[in-house]
Amino acid sequence: MQRKKPPFRADHVGSLLRPQVLKEARAQKKDGKIDAAQLKAVEDEAIKRVIKQQEDVGLQSITDGEFRRSWWHFDFLGFLDGVEYYTHAEQGIQFSGVQTRAEGVKVKGKIGYSGHPMVDHFRFLKAHTSRTPKMTIPSPSVLHFRSGRNAIPKDIYPNLDDFFNDLGQAYKKAVQDFATAGCRYLQLDETNLAYLCDPEQRELSRQRGDDPDSLPEKYAQMINTAIADRPGDMVISMHLCRGNFRSTFISKGGYEPVAKTLLDTIKVDGYFMEYDNERSGGFEPLRHLPKGDKTVILGLVTSKTGQLESKDNIKRRLEQAAKFADLDQLCLSPQCGFASTEEGNVLADEEQWAKLRMIVEVAEEVWGKN
């Protein structure tokens, strides 16, 4: 059967390819040719259009495409108390064969939350769709993993557990802020638990001064703190990713090293799990999904290329996954967003929409129509 509440049988991660008019406006704002109000007007119109496009292909969860952001993570983290967003890093983030722009965030003081502009971004989204508006924010672990203990100033946080506690409490306030604004579908984008399935990434974590064996439990505790007081009707999902920039990736490895903690210990309602190729391993870790209301949204459709997958192949893979988790606890989505940064992945706009339309069609063929 189709689901009446999120996650939906046909769902999506959130970010969408930016239209050219929006890219041009952002460049003009950076060059001082237009002001913030003029950029917002362009963003508003682009978001209204992309909302309608999502509705037209049959999606029930609607995002703003992350059109007001440059990055999927820095734009949120940079507004937390004690965090600085800077645009002149020594180097960008290294993906497979390519680096991002040299920007980042750093901890400069005690972590806290005093409000966030993305709450207003959500209000705009909610006001312009009759379907379920969905907000996406980075998981709290994102502020820690890439730089690690070595980047958390010891004069601010001599004990790293105090940092994790403050970060969890800050996120708890953010979750409550979104809830008060009417958000009932919030997604935490969690790359780092997937990275901890990769031996190379685990070794880099050690070199940064962390213990990769203990991080999953620490992250789980922090995430559970963040979402503990959410309203009973607020659905929180988590997206697992191995990197997504200009159709490239960072890590590889099946979910087995973190599956029990991920699927059982962390108290979110649904998991968007990347499964578009062999880098993600097999479906066996899904056996750790508890029976009941929790849902796994299988990312069987890649957002990294424009080639349209075979419906029959997707259905076969759903059948394979259903050997380890009940089909009634499964849904379907792209493996990641189409534009984790404003540059976007390497595919055409029409190819993006063809994939989303096909996901809706497959979901209807497998689970029935509304």
Q: Over its length of 370 residues, how does the chain's per-residue pLDDT go in tens digits? A: 899 999 999 999 999 999 999 999 999 999 999 999 999 999 999 999 999 999 999 999 999 999 999 988 889 999 999 999 887 767 766 677 777 766 889 999 999 999 999 999 999 999 999 999 999 999 999 999 888 888 899 999 999 999 999 999 999 999 999 999 999 999 999 999 999 999 999 999 999 999 999 999 999 999 999 999 999 999 999 999 987 766 786 788 999 999 999 999 999 999 999 999 888 999 999 999 999 999 999 999 999 999 999 999 999 999 999 999 999 999 999 999 999 989 889 899 999 999 999 999 999 999 998 7
Task: Encode pLDDT of 273-316 as tens digits.
Answer: 999 988 899 999 999 999 999 999 999 999 999 999 999 999 99
Look-up of token digits 């066996």: 284
Contact between 148 and 199 under an 8 Å Cβ cutoff? The reply is: no
List C-alpha distances in Å: 19 to 41, 65, 86.
14, 10, 26
Look-up of token digits 């604004």: 181
Please state, in angstroms and rounded to a whole number, the distance separating the CA atoms of residues 47 and 63. Answer: 9
| Strands 235-240 vs 295-301: parallel, antiparallel or unpaired | unpaired
| Strands 185-190 vs 94-95: parallel, antiparallel or unpaired | unpaired
Of the candidate CATH numbers 3.30.70.270, 3.40.50.1370, 3.20.20.210, 3.20.140.10, the domain formed by 20-367 belongs to: 3.20.20.210
Give φ, ψ of 148 to 5 degrees: 75, -170
| Whole-prediction pTM | 0.95
